[in-house]
Amino acid sequence: MGFIAGSAGLPEENRKLEQQIDECKRIDMPIEEVLRRRVAGAFIVAGLLIISVGFLSWRCARQASDDADLVAHTYAVMDMIELTTKHVIEVETSARTFALTGQDAVLAQYGAARGGVAQSEDELRRFTADNPRQQRRLDVLEPQIRAALEFAESMVAKRRQRQASPGPSEILDTERLMNAVRATGQEMRADEMQLLSQRRPRTNARRRLTSLMIALGTFAGAGLLALAKFAVNREIDVSARGREELKVLNAGLEQRVEQRTNALQSEITERKQAKQALAIQAEELFRSRQALETQTVMLQSVLDSMAEGLAAADEQGKFLIWNRAAERIMGFGPADLTAQEWSGYYRTYLPDGSTPFPTKELPLVRAIHGEVSTAEIFVRNPAVIGGVWIEASGSPLKNKDGVVSGGVVAFRDITQRKADEREIRKLNDELEHRVVERTAQLEAANKELEAFSYSVSHDLRAPLRHIGGFSKMLVEEFGSTLDPTAQHYLDRIQSGTQKMGLLVDELLSLARVGRHVLNVQATNLNSIVTELIAILQPESEGRQVEWVIADLPTVDCDPVLVKQVFQNLLANAIKFTGFRTAAVIEVSHKEDHGQSVFMVRDNGIGFNMKYADKLFGVFQRLHREEDFEGTGIGLATVQRIVHKHGGRVWAEGEPDKGAAFYFTLGVGQQVELKSTGAAAGVQS
């Protein structure tokens, strides 16, 4: 149990941990990404800025340099013009000087100057190659120079030849020629000066722009650096924070990892233990499985050897057990059907044999629903063509928790029993019918008897009275004229009539007891007995009779009838003790098996016990009438009354010793029925 709970807890821990790692990753990722992106972006922007500033600076510098070159060029051109002009002047001057002086030293100067003119002239042409206007002016200058040079040459040459000094005209020519050269040179310089004046401000502007650009670039670079520093710092902060968080998380993670490791370790330990336990269990399982197999085989053979059909099904109605007897009785094996289809499949019917048995009332179906039930079912299907009566008892199957998990039904073939029952019922019906018939006959007979009794009481009494009356009148009125024999006959007629009257009255009394409806009430028997002794007093007139009367209980009975019982018994006692000089009559009672038994005993003539069964019969007498008068109805009446109360009466006696009469009084309807049967038994 503990093991199962531990292994269930660990995955839970794992899951939490992984969730948290995911969360860390989710938090970390944007930090790096943003950092990377921002840095990349900043560098791209900074690079572009620096490149463009560099490029612009480079261009400006380049342009400024170009401009400076142009200015220098202009200056060079102007220098060349100056030089050329100077050389020309030197040539002129030296030529004139030579012409005036004739000194050779001056000639050297002249030659040098002349060479200088040629050189500077060439350079001038080369320098101004890019400027067509100046070229054109050069075209003008060059002839002027050549003219000047030629004039100088001519002066030199003339000196050398005549050794004469140049006249004033020549000097004036020279001056003219020289002026022309100077003028052209002046034009060219002016042109260059103009160019210069144009180029210088542009160059200055370019230079300023360049400076500006450089300054701007520097500032931008510085700004970017600052920005970069700021950004980097920030990112560093962020990442530092991230690292801090990460550290915390890592710490937490480590803790968890540790916990997890511990948990895993304990789990591993538990698993090891569990594995061991499992091995033991497996061993036990194996053994119990073997035992189970043995049991199952045994159970199966037990089930199959049963005479009763046994079937069990789970709550879905799938049969778990269906023994051989079940198949034999039902004709079919276990159906792979839902419970609702069982009745239709096995063809089960209600006891009327034709109404299909309601499936939900089948004992097995009720058992699955948790009810215990028993039913008689008629089964008739192609496998049991004649039909089978079964008595099925279903009870629920419960699992160890007491929950109903199916049902089991046991059933047996009661076809024979049903046949017997039918036979018995038929016989019973016949018997019943005969009982009814017999009862009707008996009732009719009883009615006849009653009618007879009435007839006896009413119709027989009258003629008796007439016989008695007229014979009496005969004696009274004609007795003196009759001879003694005739008188004797008349006496015999009289006594016969009286006796018959008595018989009729007593028979009537017996009949009345039979028709009497019991009026049960608490009755004091002592007072009845006391009253009766007084009434019977005349019967024992002149005799010595000792009455021994015990304390009698108050009992539930019909007082009128019970009085009749005591009266008859006491009268008998007096009668049958008639020959005793000292008669003892005893009335007592005792408790026997919870029943009151009453007794009337005398020390009279008694009777032989072998005639005891005749005592209570109508007209049965054990003594000759000459000895003891009586009709033989008194004890029959006693018995009828006692039986009517559900009681019992019997007698014990011994000749010449005495007799004892015992009786009990049960009271009620059922005892009355019993008494009727008993009375019938006695009478038959």
Q: Does 474 bind other proteins (CB under 8 A)?
A: no
Among the listed residues 30, 111, 469, 655, the single contact to other proteins using CB under 8 A: 469
* Environment class of 248 (CB within 10 Å of its CB; exposed 0-12, middle 13-18, buried 19+): exposed
Q: How far is the CB of 495 from other proteins (least distance, A)?
A: 11
Nearer to other proteins, 509 or 526 (CB): 509
Rounded to the nearest 10 degrees, how much is the dihedral formed by the CA atoms of 34, 36, 39, 45? -90
- Angle formed at CA 471 by CA 466 and CA 472, multiple of 5 degrees: 100
- Closer CB to other proteins, 50 or 474, in the complex: 474
Task: Report residue 53 as tokens.
Answer: 């500033």
- Residues 587 and 574 sit within 8 Å (Cβ to Cβ): no
For position 241 contacting other proteins by CB under 8 A, the verdict is no
Q: Collapse the DSSP code of 547 into the 3-class scheme (helix H, G, I; strand E, B; otherwise coil) and give the result.
A: strand
Q: What is the H or E stretch that residue 337 is in?
A: none
String marking each residue 199-228 x if it binds other proteins according to CB under 8 A:
------------------------------
CB-based contacts of 191, cutoff 8 Å, min separation 6: 131, 133, 134, 137
Nearer to other proteins, 84 or 497 (CB): 497
The token duo for 3 is 């093991």
User: Which letter does DSSP use for residue 356 in this model?
Assistant: B
454 lies in the binding site for other proteins (CB under 8 A): yes
Query: Is position 472 an interface residue for other proteins (rule: CB under 8 A)?
Result: yes
**DSSP H or E stretch at residue 589:** strand 583-592
**Binds other proteins (CB under 8 A): choice among 498, 521, 524, 683:** 498
* Nearer of residues 417 and 472 to other proteins, judged by Cβ: 472
**Rounded to 5°, angle at Cα 646 from 644 and 649:** 85
Task: Kindly state the smallest distance separating residue 499's Cβ from other proteins, in Å.
Answer: 10
Determine if 447 is a binding residue for other proteins (CB under 8 A).
no
Nearer to other proteins, 102 or 501 (CB): 501
- Cβ 517 to other proteins shortest distance, Å: 13
By CB under 8 A, the count of residues binding other proteins is 24
519 near other proteins, rule: CB under 8 A:
no
Among 13, 361, 371, 505, binds other proteins (CB under 8 A): 505
Tell whether residue 466 is a contact of other proteins (CB under 8 A): yes
657 Cβ contact partners less than 8 Å away, ≥ 6 residues apart? 603, 606
| Structural contact between residues 395 and 372, judged by C-beta atoms closer than 8 angstroms | yes
Please, what is the minimum distance in Å from the beta carbon of residue 443 to other proteins?
A: 19
Residue with smaller CB distance to other proteins, 421 or 459 = 459
Q: How far is the CB of 466 from other proteins (least distance, A)?
A: 4
**Contacting other proteins (CB under 8 A), which of 297, 473, 550, 609?**
473
Q: Is residue 478 within the footprint of other proteins (CB under 8 A)?
A: no
Is residue 457 close enough to count as binding other proteins by CB under 8 A? yes
Pick 503 or 599: Cβ nearer other proteins: 503
Which residue from 148, 330, 464, 638 is in contact with other proteins, where contact means CB under 8 A?
464
With tokens 């048995």, the residue in question is 357
What 311-314 contacts at long range (C-beta under 8 Å, 24+ apart), as own/partner pairs, is 311/364, 311/408, 311/409, 311/411, 312/397, 312/406, 312/407, 312/408, 312/409, 313/339, 313/364, 313/368, 313/406, 313/407, 314/368, 314/397, 314/405, 314/406
User: CA–CA separation, 404 vs 398, rounded Å?
Assistant: 4
User: In whole angstroms, what is the distance from residue 630 CA to residue 623 CA?
Assistant: 10
From the CB of 582, what's the least distance to other proteins, in Å? 34
Single-letter code of the amino acid located at 245: E
State how far the Cα of 285 lies from the Cα of 166, in Å rounded to an integer: 155
**Residue 497 touches other proteins, criterion: CB under 8 A:** yes
CB of 519 to other proteins, least distance (A): 14
Cβ 583 to other proteins shortest distance, Å:
29
Tell whether residue 512 is a contact of other proteins (CB under 8 A): yes
- Whose Cβ is closer to other proteins: residue 207's or residue 461's? 461
Interacting residue with other proteins among 369, 461, 621, 623 (CB under 8 A): 461
**Shortest Å distance, C-beta 456 to other proteins:** 9
Is residue 468 near other proteins by the rule CB under 8 A?
Answer: yes
Helix (H, G, I), strand (E, B) or coil at 384: strand
Per CB under 8 A, does 513 bind other proteins? Answer: no
Nearer to other proteins among residue 184 and residue 471 (C-beta): 471
Shortest spacing between CB 538 and other proteins, in angstroms: 16
Rounded to the nearest 5°, which phi and psi values hold at 338? -75, 155
Indicate whether 470 belongs to the interface with other proteins (CB under 8 A). Answer: yes
280: tokens are 């033991």
Which of these segments, 96-104, 292-300, 441-449, 504-512, binds other proteins (CB under 8 A)? 504-512
Task: Report the SS3 class of residue 348.
Answer: strand
Are 355 and 376 in contact, with CB atoms under 8 Å apart?
Answer: no
Query: CB of residue 653 vs other proteins: minimum separation in angstroms?
Result: 33
Using CB under 8 A as the binding rule, whether residue 398 contacts other proteins is answered as no
Cβ count near 197 (within 10 Å) = 10
Q: Does 487 bind other proteins (CB under 8 A)?
A: no
Alpha-carbon span 182 to 476, nearest angstrom: 240
Q: Which is nearer to other proteins, 158 or 472 (CB)?
A: 472
Q: How far is CA 218 from CA 51, 52, 223, 233, 582, in A?
A: 12, 12, 8, 22, 175
Q: Which is nearer to other proteins, 171 or 503 (CB)?
A: 503
**Residues near other proteins, by CB under 8 A:** 454, 457-459, 461-466, 468-473, 497-498, 500-501, 504-505, 508, 512
